[in-house]
Structure 1
Amino acid sequence: MSEKDTISMQLVREALLQTCPQGKADAALLRRAGIDERSFEQADARVGADAYARLWRLLARRCNDEFFAMDPRGLRSGSLSFMCQASMAQPTLGAGLETALGFLSLMLEDLQPGLVRQQSLAEITINEPRDEPRRAFTYFTFWMIVHGVACWLAGRRIPILAIDLRCAEPPFCDDYRVMFSENLQFERPRTRMIIAADCLDLPLRRTPEELQKFLAEAPGNILVKYRDPDSLARRVRRILGKLDPGQWPDAERLARDLCLSLSTLRRRLAEEGQTYQGLKDSVRRQLAIDWLSEGSLAMSDIAERLGFADASSFYRAFRKWFGCNPGGYRAFVLGGSQVQGKNSG
């Protein structure tokens, strides 16, 4: 099994915290899921995504809650199916998301989601009555459901520009960054996911047969299919992320650094649906939104660090990437209060 098809054992332990006494391993439950009990306490152990998906279904049946008893009301068995059926009947992803989030608002007591669209950006926010933030696992489980359903409805991965969370950063975040976005911000005023608004206009054409297949494979298909590419592509992204764009190696030097031939590098990236140029473009976009989120760098400095000739070139590229200007994105991300705009749908 490849690394990209595995999940940190820490997520298994997190899933058991709410449903098992003191989060202790239930040997019989782990065996039914196909998880080696001996590796449960190993800090760096990993488990197959298919085994984690079986554990998810077993826990959901045990407590009749597809949200692992992390909300006073929870999501009774069949909630995901009903939510998908109602959402797929809508004409667009925006309308489908409104339906899904409306259903979750009715079912859950403490997590009240909403979708707000403002020009070229949109955010899914989670409003909470309590002052104390939830565990990161609670938020990310919610995002896995919402983002996974959104991706399935659209028939493609919906890129996430950023995720803000009210909670502190947990000691394990690598899996979350693979599943969602490299741009995770913790201890923020509110919890939200930011996406490009044009995704909301995607048409929905799912069939009942496709729904049955999706539900039969869930959540394993969500865990693997709709997350960011891993393995070699992610190794390359990490290498690029540690260097200024002006220091990025050419393909031949990168291949040597990875102890690969140039043809092998290209072939293995192609097998993952990637190219080196595409990865460089992706990292450059990620750096742009990371540096804009910091709020301290001037636009001209960001443009120079990204390798653009001037700020205007950066502005044009950013608009092409995300459909908005960088100043607008910075104001959106750093804004202290929820953006004003009409709900999508």
Structure 2
Amino acid sequence: MAAIDDAGAKGQMTEKDTISMQLVREALLQTCPAGEPDAGLLARAGIDPSHLHLPEARVSAEAYAQLWRLLARRCNDEFFAMDPRGLRSGSLAFLCRASMAQPTLGAGLETALAFLSLMLEDLQPTLVRQQSLAEIVLYEPREQPRRAFSYFTLWMIIHGVACWLAGRRIPILAIELRCAEPPFCDDYRVMFSENLQFGRARTRMIIAADCLDLALKRTPEELQRFLAEAPGNILVKYRDPASLARRVRRDLLALDPAQWPDAEALARDLCLSASTLRRRLAEEGQTYQGLKDGVRRELAIAWLSEPEPGITEIAERLGFADSSSFYKAFRKWFGCNPGHYRTLSHGRD
């Protein structure tokens, strides 16, 4: 359910790519409502049914991808029967084929969202441009919000296709959802964005608008390969929450940026040598500086999503010399200024 990597197949799923068994249970909830899940179906996906109710159990991304295919085939619905109309088998192929014929990602996304709005009854996604930011808003006729799994499944489809169309990962600045936060949210933060906001007035995903101008150059052969590998090629960005990089990121988020240790002090805290720390992070495709930069961006977005603190205080807390330096960095990160982001974040609640 995570975003597709670069051109759609830059990485392959490995043993480290795992997904919480909770998401398996969520996928089965709508398709097996009458009783116990089909043990034979789980076995065909390579999932041990006896592990289904173990709190800490995880499955490989490949097993989850296979379960996805089996469930879609079983109920003839690529949205797991979570909408009165649903997405009949072949919907993803039609959506991609229609979208890739458009000149830009913005036009391709609008085509994809129009198709989803036509097919689905309860979730109507629409692209809204807001100067240097863009949001994909889900309009819903129901008063009661849907399950978080339903929202994130749709985000997986939309974001995964968008990244494939563009041939690169489209960074998600924030996702806001009407529903309450589920107890297994760590997986969603790994898959989509650290900045997830629950209990909001509407459900939407916020991205930088400049990516909408990217030209589309997908070929029929690339489409065939993408569909043959789906949804596994959409899951490859998932990374094990138990990885060293995830642990370092969590530790950084728990500290004020002024208290972040240097690499040598961090290595000592982890009972590692500095060279071992660098090597192990490199094996996960990370650097300590890169992790610090990423957390700084996450904190900036999270703090701007709230009414306080002020932008000058945020700049100071993040370690910038002044608010002007913060403005320049934020525009470099996200293509807009922090004041505009804060206005968009609060203007529609």
Q: TM-score, normalised by structure 2?
A: 0.92
Q: 1:3 to 1:294 in 2, by over 3 A?
A: farther
CA distance in 1: counterparts of 2:284 and 2:162, whole angstroms: 22
CA distance in 2: counterparts of 1:153 and 1:247, whole angstroms: 41
Write out aligned runs for 1:1-345 (5 A): 4-22=16-34, 24-225=36-237, 227=238, 231-336=243-348
CA distance in 1: counterparts of 2:215 and 2:16, whole angstroms: 30
Q: SS at the partner of 1:146?
A: helix
Structure 1 window deviating more from structure 2 (240-249 vs 253-262): it is 253-262
CA distance in 2: counterparts of 1:94 and 1:232, whole angstroms: 36
CA distance in 2: counterparts of 1:69 and 1:202, whole angstroms: 33
**RMSD of equivalent CA atoms:** 1.6
Could you tell me whether the CA contact under 8 Å between 1:9 and 1:40 is conserved in 2? yes
Paired residue type of 1:234:
R
Cα deviation digits, residues 236-265 of structure 1 (max 9, x gap):
211111111111111111122223222222
Q: SS at the partner of 2:122?
A: coil
Paired residue type of 2:312:
S
Post-superposition offset of 1:229: 8.0
Could you tell me whether the CA contact under 8 Å between 2:16 and 2:239 is conserved in 1? no
Could you tell me whether the CA contact under 8 Å between 1:25 and 1:40 is conserved in 2? no
Q: SS at the partner of 1:18?
A: helix
Over 6 Å off, 4+ runs: none
Could you tell me whether the CA contact under 8 Å between 1:17 and 1:24 is conserved in 2? no
Cα deviation digits, residues 79-119 of structure 1 (max 9, x gap):
00111111111121111111111110111111100001111
Q: 1:130 to 1:249 in 2, by over 3 A?
A: same
Give the gaps of 5 or more residues in structure 2.
Answer: 1-12
CA distance in 2: counterparts of 1:265 and 1:64, whole angstroms: 47
Q: 1:222 to 1:100 in 2, by over 3 A?
A: same
CA distance in 2: counterparts of 1:210 and 1:10, whole angstroms: 33
Q: 1:282 to 1:228 in 2, by over 3 A?
A: farther
Larger relative contact order, structure 1 or 2 (CA cutoff 8 Å, min sep 6): 2
Q: 1:277 to 1:28 in 2, by over 3 A?
A: same
Q: SS at the partner of 2:142?
A: coil
CA distance in 1: counterparts of 2:47 and 2:80, whole angstroms: 18
Post-superposition offset of 1:151: 1.1
Q: SS at the partner of 2:31?
A: coil
CA distance in 1: counterparts of 2:14 and 2:88, whole angstroms: 33
CA distance in 1: counterparts of 2:153 and 2:35, whole angstroms: 17
Paired residue type of 1:134:
R
The equivalent of 1:342 in structure 2 is: none
CA distance in 2: counterparts of 1:228 and 1:279, whole angstroms: 14
Q: TM-score, normalised by structure 1?
A: 0.93
CA distance in 2: counterparts of 1:218 and 1:278, whole angstroms: 30
How many residue pairs match? The answer is 336
Give the gaps of 5 or more residues in structure 1.
Answer: 338-345
Could you tell me whether the CA contact under 8 Å between 1:49 and 1:223 is conserved in 2? yes
Could you tell me whether the CA contact under 8 Å between 1:288 and 1:302 is conserved in 2? yes
Identity among equivalent positions (%) equals 81
CA distance in 1: counterparts of 2:277 and 2:283, whole angstroms: 10
Could you tell me whether the CA contact under 8 Å between 1:180 and 1:228 is conserved in 2? no
Q: 1:271 to 1:90 in 2, by over 3 A?
A: farther
